[in-house]
């Protein structure tokens, strides 16, 4: 716990190509470290405000941001807007890492990534700035790894709802799937990977430059046993992409947190409050051992 005041400030981050990204800083006056919180696909940065406030109360300067084409980082119209997941990983995430590091100069920097927020670390050339990565509900999107009951829903999105929205609007409307609106390039690239057993690992050689093998900071997975997407098998697919990082996993049952269900996003919801200290406890431990 810190006795310094906490501030919340909206900021603009210039991506590596100059594209303006909407960011939100939640930080104490005297941070002991910084944390970059990277969203899952289709989640606006504000979804993570509660866990960022919990981190700020522990002394961590937290930066949340929207990838290009998402929420407050989207243009007035997504029709014709060019952006894909590689832009998020190579241009947006590295700039956000630098911006987060500047919040606590000469102090450690950590990342907390939800879903795609963990996928993309290996595409950031400056990932070595971080001293540890907390992966929350991070698993490959391959549909064959999902729980059986969930597969019809996701296949309907990939094969019907998403393509229909593209044809009508030129982008995927959030009304189709319950997330934010998505640029065409994000959807088509994501869908291609989600039909491959190895996710984008199957085409990693064609996705250079990337820096997965250069990630040597510890990774801790926080997963939910009832997550239909990022289950242990799907998590293993992603962890294979990081061969040189020390890794461990923490799998939480709903009853561990006093919930009836967690799913793919419940750890960040209000009912997930018992989870929020866990990544920061781990970051504290990494600093103690350093």
- What is the tens place of the pLDDT at every residue in 124-183? 999 999 999 999 999 999 999 999 999 999 999 999 999 999 999 999 999 999 999 999
Q: What is the pLDDT of residue 108?
A: 98
* Contact partners, residue 273, CB within 8 Å, separation at least 6: 50, 54
Whether residue 11 is contained in a domain is answered as: yes
Rounded to the nearest angstrom, the gap between the alpha carbon of residue 21 and the centroid of all alpha carbons in its chain is: 15
Domain membership flag for residue 152: no
Instruction: Quickly state the pLDDT bin for 2 (edges 50, 70, 90).
Output: very low
In tens, the pLDDT along 89-133 reads: 999 999 999 999 999 999 999 999 999 999 999 999 999 999 999
29 is written with which tokens?
A: 């006056």
* Phi/psi at 36 (5° precision): -95, 120
Average pLDDT over residues 242-252: 97
Residue 165's pLDDT is 97
Query: What's the pLDDT tens digit per position in 56-87?
Result: 999 999 999 999 999 999 999 999 999 999 99
The Cα angle at residue 247 between residues 243 and 252, in degrees rounded to 5: 135
Q: What is the pLDDT of residue 4?
A: 57
The yes-or-no verdict on residue 9 having pLDDT over 50 is yes
Residue 3 is predicted with a pLDDT of: 45
Domain count, the chain: 1
Q: Residue 207 has what pLDDT?
A: 93
Q: Quick check: is 118 in a domain?
A: yes
The answer to whether residue 123 is domain-embedded is yes
Q: Is the pLDDT of residue 1 over 50?
A: no
Residue 230 and residue 223 in contact, taking contact as beta carbons nearer than 8 Å: yes
- pTM equals 0.96
Asked whether the predicted pLDDT for residue 244 surpasses 80, the reply is yes
Q: Which domain holds residue 80?
A: 6-146+198-289
Examine residue 241 and state whether it is found in any structural domain, yes or no: yes
Q: Are 124 and 211 in contact (CB under 8 A)?
A: yes
| DSSP one-letter string for the chain | ---S-EEEEEEEEE-TTS-EEEEEEEEESS-SEEEEEEPPTT--GGGGHHHHHHHHHTTEEEEEEPPTTSGGGS-S--TT----HHHIIIIIHHHHHHHHHGGGTTS-EEEEEETHHHHGGGG-TTGGG-S-EEEES-----GGGS-GGGHHHHHHIIIIIHHHHHHHHSSB-HHHHSS--B-HHHHHHHHHHHTSTTGGGGGGGGG-S--STT--S-EEEEEETT-SSS-HHHHHHHHTT-TTS-EEEEEE-GGGGT-S--TTTTTTSGGGTTTTHHHHHHHHHHHHH-
**pLDDT (tens digit, 9 = 90+) per residue, 184-193?**
999 999 999 9
Q: What is the pLDDT of residue 201?
A: 86
CATH number of the domain within which 100 lies: 3.40.50.1820
Q: pLDDT tens for residues 209-223?
A: 999 999 999 999 999
pLDDT score of 290 more than 90 = no
139 falls within a domain: yes
In a domain, 153, yes or no: no
Quick check: is 101 in a domain?
A: yes
- Rounded Cα gap, residues 218 and 238, in angstroms: 14
Q: Which residues contact 274 (CB under 8 A, 6 or more apart)?
A: 256, 257, 258
């Amino acid at each position: 716990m810190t006795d310094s005041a906490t501030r919340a400030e909206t900021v603009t981050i210039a991506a590596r190509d100059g594209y303006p990204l909407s960011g939100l800083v939640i930080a104490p006056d005297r941070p002991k470290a910084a944390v970059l919180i990277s969203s899952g696909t289709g989640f606006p940065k504000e979804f993570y405000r509660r866990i960022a406030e919990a981190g700020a109360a522990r002394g961590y300067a937290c930066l949340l941001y929207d990838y290009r084409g998402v929420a407050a980082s989207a243009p007035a119209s997504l029709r014709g807007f060019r952006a894909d997941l590689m832009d998020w990983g190579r241009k947006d995430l590295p700039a956000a890492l630098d911006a987060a590091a500047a919040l606590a100069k000469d102090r450690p920097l950590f990342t907390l990534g939800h879903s795609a927020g963990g996928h993309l670390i290996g595409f950031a050339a400056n990932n070595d700035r971080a001293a540890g990565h907390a992966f929350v509900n991070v698993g490959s999107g391959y549909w064959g790894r999902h729980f059986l009951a969930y597969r019809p829903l996701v296949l309907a999105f990939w094969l019907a709802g998403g393509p229909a929205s593209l044809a009508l609007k030129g982008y995927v409307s959030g009304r189709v799937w319950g997330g934010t609106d998505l640029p065409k390039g994000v959807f088509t690239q994501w869908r291609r990977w989600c039909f491959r057993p190895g996710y984008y690992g199957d085409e990693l050689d064609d996705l250079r430059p990337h820096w997965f093998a250069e990630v040597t900071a510890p990774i801790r997975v926080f997963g939910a046993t009832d997550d239909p997407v990022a289950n242990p098998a799907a998590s293993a697919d992603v962890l294979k992409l990081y061969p040189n990082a020390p890794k461990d996993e923490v799998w939480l049952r709903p009853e561990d947190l006093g919930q009836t269900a967690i799913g793919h996003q419940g750890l960040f919801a209000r009912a997930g409050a018992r989870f929020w200290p866990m990544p920061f406890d781990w970051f504290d431990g990494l600093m103690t051992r350093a």
